Chain A
C-alpha cells in the first residue's frame, strides 16, 4: 500500500491509500454507519434564538429522542455532532474551534440557522460570516430560526450522509486543523463568502 499526500483544506498529515471496497467492507460499513447515524449524540453549541428552537426540537412535541439524540452531550469528548445553533461572534470563534478540536472522530457538524451558515442578518464587525470559515460543516439548515421540522430534516440529511460513508475511506475521518497561518480556510475564500451585498450596509441614503 502506498502513501498519498493528504487532501482537503487544513490537512497536514499523509494518509494511507484507500482499501478497494469488497463485500466485507460494505457490510461493515453498513453496520457502522447504521450505528453511528442512529445514535448521534449532539453537542449543542446553542448561542441564540436557534437554541430555543433546538430546545423545542428536544421537547415533547418534536422529540429528537426519536432519532436517538436526546442525550445532549455538553462535554465535547463524548459528542458526535456539533450543532451550532445561533449566531457566532468573533469572540466566540476560538471557543467553537476549541470545542470542535476536542471532539473525537467520528464527528460531524450541523450549522443550524442563517447566522451560523452565513452570518445571517448580521453583516457587522462582530459576526463570523458562516461557521464554515472556522470549522468544517456537513449540513447547513437554513431558517431564522429553522422550524424544528427543518432541523429534523437537516438531521435526517446528516444521517443519509453518514450512511453513505465508508470505513475504508481514510480521508473522511481526518482532522482538519487550523493552518499555520492561523486560518482554517484560505483568506481569499473567507473574503469571497463574506462579501457585502445590496445597500444593507451603506450609510443612510435619505440624508
Chain B
C-alpha cells in the first residue's frame, strides 16, 4: 500500500510481553491482546447498544460480545423503523409514491424523489427536458452535499468533536433555505414528478445557489483543517474498520464504503444517467479501506459536487420544466377547460393516475450513501405491483460484523459511524 500523505507516528504507552513499559505505535497497541484470556478469564460479556442510543445513528441495536475491550462479535438488529414503505407503495399511484421517497433516506430527500421519477420515466420511455435534467443534477448534488454534511457532523460528535456539527448544520440550513424556496419544504421536498419537477426554481434561486457555492468551499477547508491532520482523528480512524476490495465487492457495498477500499465503482460514471457523462468531475477512490479513507472520500466528494453544481448552474437555460406528454403531465388549466382532448387527458390522469405499460425496470443511482436502486414492476395499472427499494445502507450495514472483527468497543462506534447509515432506508 502506498504510504498516506498524512501519517503520524502516534505512540502510546503500552506494556510489552516481558512486562516493561514501552511506547508502542498506536496501531499496534490497539490490536487484541493475546493475554486477554489470561487476564480476564474466558468470560465473554454480552452488551446491548441501542435501539435507543445517541451514537447508533438511528434506531439500530447492536449486540456486542466482548472479551475485555475487544470485540469478538457484533450482530446488528434492524427493523425498529420498519414502516411498510414497499407495501404502502402498492396502494399508491406513482406520483403519490414521491412523498414516500422523502421519508426513506431523509438526509438526501431530493435524490430519492428524482430516482423514483426516473424509474417511472424509464418504464414509460419518457425523456425529460434539458432544463429538468440540469435541475435534477443540481438537486442530486445538493443532496449529496447535505448528506455528507450530516455524516461529517455526527461522526465528529461520535469521535468527540462537537463544534464541526454546528458548522455542518449551519451549512445545511443554507441549503434548506434553497430547498424551501424551491419546494416549500425544508426536508420532505417531493421535488420530482413523473415527467418533470413539482415546480420551476423561483426568482433569485440561482443567485442563492451561486452564493452558497461561493462560500461553501471555505467551510470544507475548515473541516479539513480540523480533522485531516488531527492526531486524535488519525489515531481513531486510520487502520480501523478495514475491509479489502474483494470483500467489499462480495459484501455488495457501494458508495464511499466501496470506493474507500479501492473499487472505483460510481454509478454516475459506470452507468451514467441524467447526462452525468457530460460533466467534468472526478470520483475520489481510497486505498486502505479504513474509516480515514472513507472520511477523505466523502470530503472530496463534496468538493466534486461543488464542481458539478457550478457547471450545471452555468448550463442552465430558460425552458420548459415538464415534458409535454399528456400521459404524465396535466395539460394547462386554460386548455383543460376549453379543449376537449385536453379535458379528457386531464380527467384520465386525475381519476386513474399515470399508467405505465406492463414491464419492470431497475433504476440505480448514486445516492450519497451508495447505490440506491428502485426496482419497479408495473402491470399496466396506476399502482405498481412491486416497488422495491434497494437500500445502500442496508447492504453497507450488513458488513458491520465483518468490519468490526478484532476491533475495540470504542471502534465499534466509530465504524458504525463511518458506514453512514440512515435507518429509514434500511428498515423501510
Contacts and interface: CB of A to CB of B under 8 A. Distances in A.
Interface in A55-93: 55-56, 59-61, 72, 74, 86-87, 89, 91-92
B255 interface: no
Chain A interface residue bracket vs B: 35 or more
B80 A91 contact: yes
Identify the interface centre among B58, B90, B106: most chain A CB within 10 Å of its CB: B106
A154 B381 CA distance: 43
Given A52-B107, A59-B166, A206 B353 contact: yes
A95 B53 CA distance: 11
A207 B380 CA distance: 9
Interface stretch (B120-128, B169-177, B329-337, B388-396): B169-177
A56 B106 contact: no
B371 to A, nearest CB: 22
B173 A92 contact: no
A145 interface: yes
A86 B225 CA distance: 35
Contacts of A124: 83-84, 87-88
Contact of B79 (A74, A91, A122): A91
A147 interface: yes
A206 B79 CA distance: 32
B347 to A, nearest CB: 13
Task: Classify the secondary structure of B's interface with A.
Answer: loop
A49 B355 contact: no
A126 B84 contact: yes
A197 interface: no
Nearest to A93: B80
Contacts of B165: 59
Contacts of B81: 47-48, 86-87, 89, 92
Interface stretch (B96-104, B280-288, B338-346, B409-417): B96-104
B91 A89 contact: no
A200 B91 contact: yes
Interface residues of B, number: 43
Contacts of B150: 52
B354 to A, nearest CB: 10
A74 B355 contact: no
B159 interface: no
B186 interface: yes
Contact of B381 (A48, A89, A144, A204): A204
Interface string B148-180: 001000000000000001100110110010000
Nearest to A49: B106
Contact of A52 (B53, B99, B106, B352): B106
B8 to A, nearest CB: 31
Contact of B187 (A53, A74, A96, A127): A53
A87 B170 contact: no
A26 B187 CA distance: 44
16 contacts: A48-B83, A56-B186, A59-B170, A60-B169, A60-B170, A74-B52, A89-B80, A92-B51, A121-B100, A122-B83, A122-B84, A145-B187, A147-B186, A201-B91, A202-B91, A205-B382
Interface of A: 45, 47-49, 51-53, 55-56, 59-61, 72, 74, 86-87, 89, 91-92, 95-96, 99, 121-122, 124-127, 144-145, 147, 200-207
The 10 closest A-B pairs by CB, nearest first: A124-B84, A59-B169, A49-B106, A74-B54, A206-B382, A204-B383, A206-B352, A207-B381, A92-B80, A60-B166
